[in-house]
C-alpha cells in the first residue's frame, strides 16, 4: 500500500462504518479511493444527475446537502469531516434526489461501490449503517438530537428508531422446490399450504422464486403450458438477505430490486442454506400504521365505519410520531395525505350510491383542511363546484350535487369530522354551485365594499382539490389572483381581519387568558396565537401573488424568499407556527378535543417560556401588516 493509500486508511478507520472493517479490507478500500478536490461552491452532484459509481466521505472542509421543496432550495445538512454521503447508487436506480455542493474548499474521498459492495456480504453492521444513513441522508451523529430527512423512500426520526430498524419476523418454513418440478406441481404445493410463493433451490442455495403473480402472468395467460418446468417461469436470481435483516433494509431492497419477496439465507448470499422468506405482507405487519398501508386500506374501504377505524389509527400515528420528535412538517404532510384520501373516499362512496355525476366537478376542502393543517379531528369545511351546463339542465344537475354534498358530509360526520357550525360545506346550497356562479361569488366578495362582505370568510381563500377536475380549481385560482392584483379594498378587509384578534400577551408579557365561562383561566391558542399567523400568511401570500401554496408554514418560508427585507420576521413566524401547532395538537390528543384552550398550569416551565417566545414575532408581523397595507384600524 502506497503512502497516500496509507494516509487514507488511517483517516477512514476513525469513522463508522469503516471502523467495522478488518485491516485488509480497509487497505483494499483505501487503495481504490479517488481524491476529489472541490473549490468553494463547486457542485459534486446535483438533483436529477445520473448516479456516480462511487459514494463519498468528507476528508476536509464542509459540504452542503440541499433539496428543492416548494420551489425553494433548502440546505438540510452541512456535512463535516468523516461524514459519508451520496449513497443513492448503492440502493436505488433513479437519479440523485439531492444536491451536494462545497460550502468551502473541500476534499472528499470517492469510494468505488464495486470495491466496497462485496465487503457487505458478511458484515451486517456495515450494511445496516449504510442503509440507515441512506434513509436519513444525514451524518451519523449518535449524540445529535436533530431530525433526519428522507431520500424519497420513507421517513425516520433517527438511527435508533426501533420502528424502522427492528429485526423482522418472517416465514421460517418456506416452501421449496427444484427446477425439475413442473409449474403444476408448484401450484398444487402453494394451494395445499395456503402460501403464495415457493423458493426454487439447488444444492441448498436459492436460484429463483415462483409467486402467485408468476402463475397468473405466465401460466393462466397461456404463455407457458401448465406442465412446463418451473425454471421457465421462476424469477431469477432471487434477492437474498441475512438472517438478522431489518425492516428498513428489507424495504429498501424490495424497492431497489422491484420485487415483492426476499429469500433469507445464513450468510445473505445465494450460496448458503435457505432460512426463510420475507414477503411484502411481513413488512406491512411490521408497520401497521405505515401511511402507505393506511392509504391502500382507505381506497378499499366500503363504509364510514371502516374509514372511522382508519382515522383512529391516524390519530395514534400522529401521537406516536410527535412523541418520537419526528419533525412536525413531516407529520403534517403524512396526516394531510391520509385525511385527503379519507375525504376522497367519502365522495367516491357517495357517487357509488347515487350513480355517476351528470357533469364534471371539483370537491374542494377549505380552511384547515384546505391548508393541509388538520392534525386533530376538527370540523369539516368544503365547497362543491360543478362545470357550467345548459340552463334547462341546471336545476337537475345542482340537485344531484347537493345530494352528493349531503351524503358525503353525513359520511364524514360519522367518521368523526363534525359538521361546520357556520354551514361552510358542499351540502349547503350556497356553497354548491356552478363554476360561473362561483366566479361571480369571488368577484363580488373581492370587489365589494366592507359593508357587503357578510358572507365572506377568509377560509374561502384556502382551498385544495380533494377529488374531481383540476381545471376547475385552476379557474378558481386564476379569478382569485386576477381580483387580488392591486385591490386595495380587498386587502384592507383581509388586513383588518388578520388584526381583529386581541394580542396574546399583555404589556407586561403575561398570557391573556379567558376571564369567564367554562374555559376560564385557559389560553385560547387558536384565536389568539394561531389564527393571526394563519390570516397574516394568507394576506401576504395573496399580496405577493404566490400561487399554489396554502400551508401556513410553507407560506411563511416562501414569503421569506419573496420579501427578503423582512425574511427574519417570516422565518420566525414559520417556526412559531410549528411550535404553537405542536402545543395545540398535544393538548387536543390528551383531551380528545380540538386543543383550542390550553391549561398553562399543565405546561412545564420550559414549554411556557417557549410558548411565550413563539408569540413575540406576532407584534412585528402586526406592524408589518399595518405598514404594508396602510392600516390604522384596531392598532
pLDDT digits (tens, 9 = 90+) for 333-350: 888 888 999 999 999 999
Q: What is the pLDDT of residues 4-19, one digit of tens each?
A: 899 999 999 988 889 8
**Strand, coil or helix: what is 331?**
helix
pTM equals: 0.58
| Residue at 557 is within a domain | yes
- Beta strand 106-112 with 34-38: parallel, antiparallel or unpaired? antiparallel
Grid coordinates 392598532 are at which residue?
635
Of 126, 142, 166, which residue is a domain's last?
Answer: 126
pLDDT, mean of residues 616-630: 90
| Residue at 168 is within a domain | no
Q: How confident is the model at residue 632 (pLDDT cuts 50, 70, 90)?
A: low
- If asked whether residues 317 and 453 sit together in one domain, one would say yes
pLDDT of residue 123: 72
pLDDT, mean of residues 355-379: 92
pLDDT of residue 93: 60
Residue 219 is part of a domain; what is its CATH number? 3.10.580.10
DSSP 130-165: HHHHHHH-S---TT--------SS---S-TT-HHHH
pLDDT of residue 201: 94
Could you write out the three-class secondary structure of 408-439?
A: HHHHHHHHCCCCCCCCCCCCCHHHEEEHHHHH
Which of 260-274, 499-513, 600-614 has the weakest average pLDDT?
A: 499-513
| Residue at 421 is within a domain | yes
Residue 346 is part of a domain; what is its CATH number? 3.30.460.10
Please provide the average confidence, as pLDDT, over all residues in the chain: 85
pLDDT of residue 381: 94
Radius of gyration of the chain (CA): 29
pLDDT, mean of residues 563-580: 93
For residue 441, is pLDDT > 80? yes
- If asked whether residues 444 and 342 sit together in one domain, one would say yes
- If asked whether residues 447 and 344 sit together in one domain, one would say yes
Grid cell digits, residue 32: 481504490
- If asked whether residues 578 and 510 sit together in one domain, one would say yes
CA-CA-CA-CA dihedral for 535, 538, 539, 542, to nearest 10? -170
Q: What is the pLDDT of residues 288-303, one digit of tens each?
A: 556 767 888 898 899 9
Give the H or E element holding residue 465. strand 463-468
Phi-psi label, residue 106: left if phi above 0, alpha if psi -120 to 50, beta otherwise: beta
For residue 94, is pLDDT > 70? no
| Residue at 136 is within a domain | no
What is the rounded end-to-end Cα distance, in angstroms, of the chain?
A: 75
Sign, CA dihedral 96-97-102-108, equals negative
Q: Is 48 exposed, middle or buried (0-12, 13-18, 19+ CB in 10 A)?
A: exposed
Q: What percent of the chain has pLDDT over 70?
A: 87
Which of 282-291, 392-401, 414-423 has the weakest average pLDDT?
A: 282-291
pLDDT of residue 48: 86
- If asked whether residues 434 and 514 sit together in one domain, one would say no
Contact assessment for residue 536 and residue 626, using Cβ atoms and an 8 Å cutoff? no
pLDDT, mean of residues 56-83: 80
Of 286, 302, 331, which residue is a domain's last?
Answer: 286
Of 479, 502, 533, which residue is a domain's last?
Answer: 479
Q: How far apart are CA 234 and CA 342, in angstroms?
A: 38
For residue 42, is pLDDT > 80? yes
| Residue at 345 is within a domain | yes
Q: How confident is the model at residue 60 (pLDDT cuts 50, 70, 90)?
A: very high
- If asked whether residues 265 and 299 sit together in one domain, one would say no
For residue 77, is pLDDT > 80? no
**Strand, coil or helix: what is 46?**
coil
| Residue at 602 is within a domain | yes
Give the H or E element holding residue 610. helix 605-615
pLDDT of residue 175: 94
Contacts 24+ apart (CB under 8 A), 154-158: 154/248, 154/251, 155/326, 155/330, 155/334, 156/248, 157/324, 157/325, 157/326
- If asked whether residues 452 and 591 sit together in one domain, one would say no
| Residue at 510 is within a domain | yes
Nearest to 177 by CA among 231, 239, 235: 231
pLDDT of residue 354: 95
- If asked whether residues 83 and 228 sit together in one domain, one would say no
Sign, CA dihedral 395-398-404-406, equals negative
pLDDT, mean of residues 173-202: 92
Q: How confident is the model at residue 352 (pLDDT cuts 50, 70, 90)?
A: very high
Q: How confident is the model at residue 117 (pLDDT cuts 50, 70, 90)?
A: confident
- If asked whether residues 398 and 300 sit together in one domain, one would say yes
Q: Tell me the β-bridge partners of 240.
A: 263
Q: What percent of the chain has pLDDT over 90?
A: 51
Domain that holds residue 575: 488-628
CA-CA-CA-CA dihedral for 573, 579, 585, 591, to nearest 10? -120
pLDDT of residue 288: 56
For residue 361, is pLDDT > 80? yes
The alpha-helical segments, DSSP class H, found in 544-604 are: 552-562, 567-591
For residue 317, is pLDDT > 90? no
Which of 53-67, 299-313, 327-341, 348-362 has the weakest average pLDDT?
A: 327-341
| Residue at 634 is within a domain | no
For residue 264, is pLDDT > 80? yes
Q: How confident is the model at residue 190 (pLDDT cuts 50, 70, 90)?
A: very high
- If asked whether residues 297 and 255 sit together in one domain, one would say no
Q: Tell me the β-bridge partners of 66.
A: 75, 99
- If asked whether residues 588 and 502 sit together in one domain, one would say yes
Grid cell digits, residue 331: 407529520
Q: How far apart are CA 253 and CA 374, in angstroms?
A: 34
For the sheet with 99-102, list strands across it: 43-45, 99-102, 63-69, 72-79
DSSP 195-248: -SEEEEEETTEEEEEEEHHHIIIIITTSSS-TTSBGGGTSBSSPPEE-TT-BHH
Q: Phi and psi for 265 in degrees, rounded to 5? A: -125, 165
pLDDT of residue 284: 65
For residue 437, is pLDDT > 60? yes
pLDDT of residue 316: 82
Provide the domain count of the chain.
4
For residue 573, is pLDDT > 80? yes
For residue 409, is pLDDT > 90? yes
pLDDT, mean of residues 363-392: 93
pLDDT of residue 585: 93
For residue 76, is pLDDT > 80? no
pLDDT, mean of residues 234-239: 91
- If asked whether residues 327 and 463 sit together in one domain, one would say yes
Amino acid at each position: 500500500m502506497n503512502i497516500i493509500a496509507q494516509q487514507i486508511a488511517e483517516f477512514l478507520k476513525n469513522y463508522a462504518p469503516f471502523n467495522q472493517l478488518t485491516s485488509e479490507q480497509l487497505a483494499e478500500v483505501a487503495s481504490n479511493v479517488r481524491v476529489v478536490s472541490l473549490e468553494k461552491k463547486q457542485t459534486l452532484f446535483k438533483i436529477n444527475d445520473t448516479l456516480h459509481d462511487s459514494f463519498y466521505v468528507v476528508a476536509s472542509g464542509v459540504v452542503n446537502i440541499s433539496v428543492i421543496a416548494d420551489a425553494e432550495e433548502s440546505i438540510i445538512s452541512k456535512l463535516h469531516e468523516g461524514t459519508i454521503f451520496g449513497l443513492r447508487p448503492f440502493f436505488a436506480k433513479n437519479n440523485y434526489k439531492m444536491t451536494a455542493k462545497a460550502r468551502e474548499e473541500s476534499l472528499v474521498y470517492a469510494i468505488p461501490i464495486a470495491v466496497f459492495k462485496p465487503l457487505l456480504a458478511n458484515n451486517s453492521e456495515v450494511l445496516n449503517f449504510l442503509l440507515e444513513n441512506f434513509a436519513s441522508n444525514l451524518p451519523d451523529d449518535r449524540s445529535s438530537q436533530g431530525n433526519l430527512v428522507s431520500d424519497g423512500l420513507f421517513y425516520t426520526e433517527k438511527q435508533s428508531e426501533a420502528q424502522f430498524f427492528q429485526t423482522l419476523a418472517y416465514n421460517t418454513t418456506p416452501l421449496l422446490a427444484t427446477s425439475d418440478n413442473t409449474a403444476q406441481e408448484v401450484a398444487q404445493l402453494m394451494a395445499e399450504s395456503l402460501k403464495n410463493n415457493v423458493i426454487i433451490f439447488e444444492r441448498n442455495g436459492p436460484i429463483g422464486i415462483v409467486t402467485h403473480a408468476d402463475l397468473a402472468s405466465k401460466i393462466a395467460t397461456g404463455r407457458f403450458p401448465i406442465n412446463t418446468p418451473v425454471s421457465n417461469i421462476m424469477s431469477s436470481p432471487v434477492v437474498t438477505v441475512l438472517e438478522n435483516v431489518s425492516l428498513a433494509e428489507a424495504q429498501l431492497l424490495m424497492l431497489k430490486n422491484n420485487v415483492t419477496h426476499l429469500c433469507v439465507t445464513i450468510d445473505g448470499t445465494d450460496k448458503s442454506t435457505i432460512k426463510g422468506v420475507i414477503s411484502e405482507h411481513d413488512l406491512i405487519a411490521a408497520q401497521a400504521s405505515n401511511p402507505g398501508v393506511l392509504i391502500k386500506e382507505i381506497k378499499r374501504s366500503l363504509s364510514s365505519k371502516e374509514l372511522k377505524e382508519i382515522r383512529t389509527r391516524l390519530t395514534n400515528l400522529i401521537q406516536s410520531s410527535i412523541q418520537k420528535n419526528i419533525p412536525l412538517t413531516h407529520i403534517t404532510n403524512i396526516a394531510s395525505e391520509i385525511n385527503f384520501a379519507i375525504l376522497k373516499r367519502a365522495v367516491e362512496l357517495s357517487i357509488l350510491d347515487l350513480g355517476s355525476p351528470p357533469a364534471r366537478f371539483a370537491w374542494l376542502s377549505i380552511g384547515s383542511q384546505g391548508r393541509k393543517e388538520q392534525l386533530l379531528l376538527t370540523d369539516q369545511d368544503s365547497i362543491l363546484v360543478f362545470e357550467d351546463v345548459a340552463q334547462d339542465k341546471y336545476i337537475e344537475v345542482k340537485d344531484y350535487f347537493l345530494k352528493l354534498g349531503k351524503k358525503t358530509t353525513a359520511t364524514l360526520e360519522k367518521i368523526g369530522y363534525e359538521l361546520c357550525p357556520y354551514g361552510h360545506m358542499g351540502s349547503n346550497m350556497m356553497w354548491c354551485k356552478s363554476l360561473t356562479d362561483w366566479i361571480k361569488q369571488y368577484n363580488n366578495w373581492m370587489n365589494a365594499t366592507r359593508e357587503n362582505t357578510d358572507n365572506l370568510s377568509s377560509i374561502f381563500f384556502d382551498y385544495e382539490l380533494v377529488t374531481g377536475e383540476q381545471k376547475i380549481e385552476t379557474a378558481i385560482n386564476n379569478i382569485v389572483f386576477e381580483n387580488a392584483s392591486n385591490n386595495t379594498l380587498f386587502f384592507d378587509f383581509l388586513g383588518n381581519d388578520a388584526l381583529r384578534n386581541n394580542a396574546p400577551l399583555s404589556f407586561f408579557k403575561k398570557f391573556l387568558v379567558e376571564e369567564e365561562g367554562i374555559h376560564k383561566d385557559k389560553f385560547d391558542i387558536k384565536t389568539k396565537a394561531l389564527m393571526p399567523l394563519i390570516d397574516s400568511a394568507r394576506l401576504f401570500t395573496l399580496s405577493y401573488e404566490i400561487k399554489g401554496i396554502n400551508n401556513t408554514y410553507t407560506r411563511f418560508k416562501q414569503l421569506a424568499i419573496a420579501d427578503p427585507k423582512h425574511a427574519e420576521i417570516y422565518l420566525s413566524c414559520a417556526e412559531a407556527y410549528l411550535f404553537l401547532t405542536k402545543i395545540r395538537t398535544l393538548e387536543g390528543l390528551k383531551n380528545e378535543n380540538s386543543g383550542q384552550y390550553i391549561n398553562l398550569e399543565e405546561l412545564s416551565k420550559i414549554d411556557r417560556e417557549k410558548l411565550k417566545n413563539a408569540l413575540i414575532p406576532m407584534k412585528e408581523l402586526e406592524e408589518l401588516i399595518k405598514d404594508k397595507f396602510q392600516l390604522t384600524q384596531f392598532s
